[in-house]
């Protein structure tokens, strides 16, 4: 079972300074700083003309195109492109960093009537901390090219990769549920427990007014990087 969550506090809320968040983290967990965390996310929102034909009644929900670059992330350097259609489905692909400018030019020149640019958000100077069972990334959100000092805080909490040793037996109890039902029930319990564990880490920092975005489920190493990209896009899409 794997879980990761993003917690954001908007600048309009009583928002602690980044240094204060780091101090609380150190006081509660005595973590080890293991790296830096930088990213930028360029965003586009569907124009009215691109959704006119989707619905004759109520206006269609907007779609989003988001380009996320995480140069400090471990693994091959790549940029993820996530398209969210009417808040219902997400499609994510990766492209090499040297193709980003060409992709942006394509969107502007050929698809400009469909996608309107939104503010670019970025974190520079963020940090990654190892808590043992978790990795925590903390950073201050800023809007590229804006005079606004801060757009708030973002904290990403994820479970460290470890082999699951949760092989406890049932103690001889008898279940009337079939194997499939027992497996589904166990997954549901594990997902709930994973979500609660992430929330406990966040709650220990004693920061109020945050929005949370949590994903939990059976581990899929091949989808990990896309899971994080989609989670980040979901959390920051509402701020554009």
Instruction: State yes or no: pLDDT of 184 exceeds 70.
Output: no
- Strand order through the sheet with 211-217: 89-95, 79-85, 64-69, 32-46, 115-130, 134-143, 152-159, 2-10, 211-217
Residue 169 placed within a domain: no
Confidence of residue 146 (pLDDT cuts 50, 70, 90): confident
Tell me the pLDDT of the chain averaged across its residues: 82
Residue 158 placed within a domain: yes
240, two tokens: 């554009």
List pLDDT tens digits, range 197-227.
Answer: 999 999 999 998 999 999 887 666 655 668 8
Residue 223 placed within a domain: yes
Residue 171 placed within a domain: no
CA trace torsion 106, 111, 112, 117 (10° rounding): -80
Confidence of residue 60 (pLDDT cuts 50, 70, 90): confident
In this prediction, residue 145 carries a pLDDT of 81
**CA 226 – CA 83 distance, rounded (Å):** 12
Residue 226 placed within a domain: yes
Number of domains observed in the structure of the chain: 1
**CA 133 – CA 165 distance, rounded (Å):** 14
Confidence of residue 58 (pLDDT cuts 50, 70, 90): low
Q: Tell me how far CA of residue 233 lies from CA of 4, 194, 240, in angstroms.
A: 14, 21, 10
Assign residue 150 the CATH number of its domain: 2.40.320.10
Residue 206 placed within a domain: yes
Confidence of residue 178 (pLDDT cuts 50, 70, 90): very low
Instruction: State yes or no: pLDDT of 162 exceeds 70.
Output: no
> By C-alpha distance, which of 3, 6, 16, 12 is closest to 207?
16
Residue 44 placed within a domain: yes
Domain span at 122: 2-162+179-237
């Amino acid at each position: 079972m794997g879980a990761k969550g993003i917690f954001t506090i908007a600048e309009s809320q009583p928002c602690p300074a980044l240094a204060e968040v780091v101090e609380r983290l150190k006081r509660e967990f005595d973590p080890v700083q293991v790296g830096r965390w930088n990213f930028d996310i360029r965003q586009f929102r569907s124009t009215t003309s691109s959704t006119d034909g989707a619905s004759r009644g109520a206006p269609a929900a907007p779609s989003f195109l988001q380009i996320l670059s995480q140069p400090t992330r471990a693994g091959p350097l790549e940029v993820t492109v996530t398209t969210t259609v009417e808040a219902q489905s997400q499609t994510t692909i990766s492209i090499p960093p040297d193709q980003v400018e060409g992709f942006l030019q394509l969107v502007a020149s050929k698809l400009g009537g469909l996608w309107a640019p939104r503010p670019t958000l970025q974190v520079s100077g963020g940090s990654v901390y190892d808590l043992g069972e978790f990795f925590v990334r903390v950073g201050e959100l800023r809007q590229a090219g804006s005079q606004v000092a801060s757009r708030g805080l973002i904290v990403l909490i994820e479970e460290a990769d470890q082999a699951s040793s949760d092989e406890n037996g049932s103690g001889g109890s008898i279940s009337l549920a079939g194997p499939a039902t027992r497996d589904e029930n166990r997954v549901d319990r594990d997902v709930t427990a994973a979500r609660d564990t992430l929330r406990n880490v966040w709650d220990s920092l004693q920061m109020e007014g945050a929005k949370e975005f949590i994903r939990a489920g059976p581990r899929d190493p091949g989808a990990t990087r896309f899971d994080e990209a989609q989670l980040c896009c979901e959390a920051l899409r509402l701020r554009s």
